[in-house]
Structure 1
Amino acid sequence: MRRIGQLWGRLRNIPGLGRDLLVLAVTVAVATATTAYIVMQYGTNVPWQDDRLTIAAEFDSAPSVDPSSKQEVRIAGVPVGKIEAADPQENGTTRIEMSVNPGRTVYDNARAVLRSKAPVNIMYISLDPGGPPGEPLTEGGTIPVPQTQRLTQPWELLNKLDDRTRDAITSLINEADAALATAPEHLPEGLDETSAVMNSFRPVVEELRSRRESISELVTSVAQVSTAVAEDDERLAQLTSSLQTSLSVLAERDEELGDTLEQVPGLSQDLEQAMTSTSNLTDQLDPTLDALHGASDELPSTLSTLSDTMAEAGRMVDAAGPTVEEARPVVADLRPLASDLNSTLDDLAPVTEHLPPATKRIVPWLDNLAAFVYQTSSAFSLSDENGGLGRGNFNINVAETVDGLVPGADSEGTEDN
């Protein structure tokens, strides 16, 4: 305390000392704050930023990437981190490690693009963090090469050119300085004239391109024909010889060819008649097709009903199977009777000729005949349910007088009362 008191007394007693010390303290404070700001802007990690996420991305190439320059990592144009390291891999790619500020989540479907701030290749990484359904990347996670892209360098384009083109571009660049010295006065007018000249060259260029394509196709075709002829000259010789032989035979058959050609008009007429008949057939076929088209709407339902009927018939056939099996012995026993029936049918033929007129005459008496049958169970019985009755017994020779069955007709049969 004593020393502090002595120091305070000296500051008060020596003129200007307190002011100088105050200026010195303010200067030191400003310098310290400025240094801290510069160091922070340079990208130095501070202790409270140790929880930054460190991930990596693989590029097929990483030109002008310098981790010592603390190059940025941006998301949507906003700096969120920096490039920490860049190492070449055994497979020829480059692995770039980068740190991202806390609170940022990067997913495994993220995309990274290596870009430049200026033409002098001040590089930075534009990061698209991705999102669900991707999984968040953990510490040390890597974005693979298919999800990265880099900036194409100008020299890569120039390397695609041949020596003559590169020399012309070099000469153009060298002469550009002198040519552009008076650019403000002459360049606009010259560009306008150049544009007009180029527009006038357009039809010529189009024609030249079309002609170049045609010439290319012609050269290719000629080359193919030449190759084919060179590889198959023996076959070409045989073809030429065969053609000569065919022409010789044709010259010898000149008269026959003339006769054949004279028959062509008749053939043409027959062909015309055939085509006319075909046209008439087409006219008749059209209504048939229209009717068939109209029936096609009802045909599916008809086929469906027929399918049901066939199903029922199938079940009936299955049910009739046992009956058919039982009927086989009966049919076998009837075979001798069937042979006898053939001769009997021959004897019945004269009788069947009289059956249609007899049936015609019997039909009006069917009601009386029904009552007669209803009253008695026998045509020859002398009694019924009501007692004895007088009955008539007719003996008719049907084979001789069929017309005597009804009143009014002539009959030659015998009648007993």
Structure 2
Amino acid sequence: MKSSVLRVLGVVLVAALGTTGAMSGAASENPASRGMTLVAEFTDSGPILTGNDVKIDGVVVGTVAETSVRDGRADIVLSLDPAALPVYSDARVVIRPVSLLGERYVDLERGTPSGNALTDGATIPTSQTGVNVGLDEILNTVDQPTGESLAFLVTTLGDGLRDNGGDVDAALKELAPAMRDTQALTSVLADQNALLGSLVDKVQPVAGALATDNGKSLDTLVASTDRLLAASAAQQQQLDQTLGQLPGALGSARSALGELAGTAQETTPTLRSIRPVTENLSAISDELNTFADSLDPALANAQPVLEKAQALLDQAQPVAADLRTGSPDLRAASASARPVVDDLNGNLDNVLNFIRYWAMTTNGHDGISHYFRAHIIVNPDIAGGLLPQGALPQILPTPPAVGGQQPGSDVPGTAAAPPVAGGLLQAPAPQDSGAGPDATGLSPEQEQGMVGYLLGGNR
């Protein structure tokens, strides 16, 4: 390694001294006119020799100054003329054959201006170098049996293509689109080279695990797969039945999804209506927090209240037990009282009037006791209806006789009142039973009718 570096430095130093001696007076000249050297790294440089040409687009622009091996790589020092400059960082170097005789040259691609220009002594890595395989190398790898087989293959191919050039041409034309698609596919694969490499790296551990124990793991996997396939074949009929029911299940699922879509459409207005609430959730949550903060003191003081309530519930428990025991009788009594209450509620005005009128009737009293007060309005029809005979008698007195005395009268100049046969003006005759006369002068039926009238029974 040190010797190659020394050689490179020596070559650079000699070139620099020669250039300096030849152009010592041209201080303002472009430095690129002096040329430069580059080091190209190859994994295998092949039969490249010192002094081979360096070409750009078929034009010789330099020579191979030196070849060496360093760290398992082949380093080739390229001495370039000023016409080859500038060379950019994305430059490529490929060793190509000159002819079938095995002679080689170095093909240099300077790269694109988007890259940085390389300086003198820069290195082009192996990722940007390559070697074309020559025909002589291919022939050298073919041994006697392989050569004979290849010759037979070429001969057979020639016999097959004899007089079929037109067909081959048509076939090539038909294959042109497929080849273009293949080229596009290879371009895509080239762009995804990193992804494919990552995929291979991830698959490699699995393949390595399957390859352990001389493939026993792979044999086990294959056996397990075989058993799985056998079990699936044994259940083929059930699987067919399941697959036959699958369309119906999918139809039901489609119907359910349709109904769900309709439900979603119906819920859309509801969700839209509650959107203002959701937009105010922050304010509502703040108010709830404020309420919770205000409620904390009450909850802190609620323990004594709860203890008092518990004591009250304990005291009420026996009462509740007694009520539970007597609830059937209470239910029966309430059911029996319901008709009375309903009737009383329906005639509530009359009941209240009766109580008010009775209170007004019996609230009077004198020095001896309370007395019964009644206000009766009597017209001729009512008075006539109360008489026993149903007719009003002649109750007015007759004019007295002038200067005389009416018959039956003890007072001179007056007339005696005619007797009234029963009714309100005269008590009825004593009964055969010997009892005294009735204070009202009415028969029991008439008294019952009057009381009923007073109480609102008869109108």
TM-score using structure 1 length = 0.42
Bigger helix share = 1
* Higher RCO (C-alpha under 8 Å, 6+ residues apart): 1
Structure number with bigger Rg: 2
TM-score using structure 2 length = 0.39
